[in-house]
Structure 1
């Protein structure tokens, strides 16, 4: 006799084919949620895959988002233009569509936040209520995005923002770890370090971030209508801790890896011709001064922040990227 389990609730994940969106979708599924995801170019209007219902649609099309969100009590907004491109055109229209759907359903919006909202006047230790005075175009867009979310929270939606450091994880996709430190599909021989010598940097392991979001959703009725949290994650105090962990893992698996500086000079030379590199160059300031996040508020709500030991998290990430010795490209 098969026992039917009633889902905790129904959640829509936008950006489920990406790193953080995919991880949150899987963890919501495993926690007992009924999960739906939106994907462009799907062959069928709807299909089941890995316990998730995939619906054909586009986060830029309001009707698609509202149709996919019907009956959902949670919308995870984890969709971003790839490679930093076209932020000015796409980021705000997509959040407006999510807000419209959330207001219609009285749903909770979950947003993976960034440090871009803050300028150097708030560094080196960021707290949730620090003034947001960004120095980049992308930062200004993120500030406006959160302003619209806060306004929606005053109109009946609920919002949870989880700001974290640079992501890494087994299915990290578009990230500094996967595109700057190592090369996916190739055993690690050189670890590139983007930061200036001795400058600390904040990292966050994707499964820990997703676990945090799921845990906060379980407590959403006790949170403020607009609730923002910072994750302490993994603090790399001297800018070498992450690289040294990669080297340890590689050597433990029988390989060898050296540490080297990231070739910013090549990025600068090529940036006039490659839009993504121009956008990367704009964010270099985050590698030239320490930026750390205070996780005290989050720990007070959850008891403790989900935290996978660094070497364990790095090994899982390298395995997922196909970067360990002996893995086929």
Structure 2
């Protein structure tokens, strides 16, 4: 087993891709599986890519050979077939990690928790989820906890709603603004005055990297919460978007309530919208995460200032022209 070789499952997604890039930049040898990849390993972007499927145990076992870390950041696309796919995929990761004596790193969610744990979530808060996805996530973590006594270690990092330059499916890029378009309006999914927890993807990845580098000092099943960016009244994220857009020379966007009524009408026919509607309870009450355990382990939480993070996210989503492109256009003119 190599101490600096990692397998990333879900490397084409938002958090998986960000963790893979940060591991690579920190000097790790990174492998990634891709269902559409080539049979032989191909070097791309400083990482080894090979064809494989997280649902096929033999693929995961082969890719994990010699790895000391497996990042389990893979999820069914578009929220579809969670009940069929989520647990078999993590079982394959567990089998590979136990065979290699590797550490599993899991991007966790708040889905595990229901109102009995609100308003402040700690790592040991009771997990009584309201939704089907939440119940599956609880089972997933239970299997990882059991596996931590069988030769592999586990690090779980739970965070609020993701946003970032390569976001994947999340509320910022699918609910607040429209990717690939100038920001002319911003939707507010939350009830008026209700706070919400956000987490910038590069900060989450940096947190995971730093915990991985300290994995020998952690308990076999180690869980951590990130404070991220706390939007105290449900408008601060939208106001940060507005500041960035106006500073970059565009007109001030309008703000309005998210069209939940439209989601309700379309949900029976669109899986993604049905799943989004199921999570609406997280927008009706403030849910804040306590990061005391993380700070005790790292000394601080990696944290990018909100406006800087929002600007990078909007540029990456194609909602703003990058500063480099703007400068080039000015010179050309």
| Equivalent position of 2:100 in the other structure | 105
Distance 2:201 2:321 in 1: 23
What RMSD over aligned residues (CA atoms) do the two structures have, in Å? Answer: 1.3
Preserved CA contact (<8 Å) 2:6 2:31: yes
Deviates more, 1:15-24 or 1:271-280: 271-280
| Equivalent position of 2:43 in the other structure | 48
Distance 1:320 1:273 in 2: 30
Q: 1:297-319: CA deviations, max 9, x gaps?
A: 10111000000000000000000
Structure 2 matches for 1:54-69, cutoff 5 A? 54-69=49-64
| Equivalent position of 1:296 in the other structure | 292
Preserved CA contact (<8 Å) 2:10 2:75: yes
1:130 aligns with 2:125: yes
| Aligned with 1:323 (options 303, 319, 325) | 319
Scaled by the length of structure 2, the TM-score of the pair is 0.95
Structure 2 matches for 1:275-314, cutoff 5 A? 275-314=271-310
**Structure 2: unaligned runs, 5 residues or longer:** 327-333
Scaled by the length of structure 1, the TM-score of the pair is 0.96
Preserved CA contact (<8 Å) 2:3 2:67: no
1:247 aligns with 2:242: yes
SS state of the match for residue 54, structure 2?
coil
| Aligned with 1:217 (options 212, 221, 230) | 212
Q: How far is 1:44 from its partner?
A: 4.2
Q: How far is 1:45 from its partner?
A: 2.4
SS state of the match for residue 162, structure 2?
strand
**How many aligned residue pairs are there?**
322
| Equivalent position of 1:38 in the other structure | 33
Structure 2 matches for 1:136-285, cutoff 5 A? 136-256=131-251, 257-285=253-281
| Equivalent position of 1:76 in the other structure | 71
Distance 2:125 2:37 in 1: 42
| Equivalent position of 1:4 in the other structure | none
Distance 1:85 1:191 in 2: 27
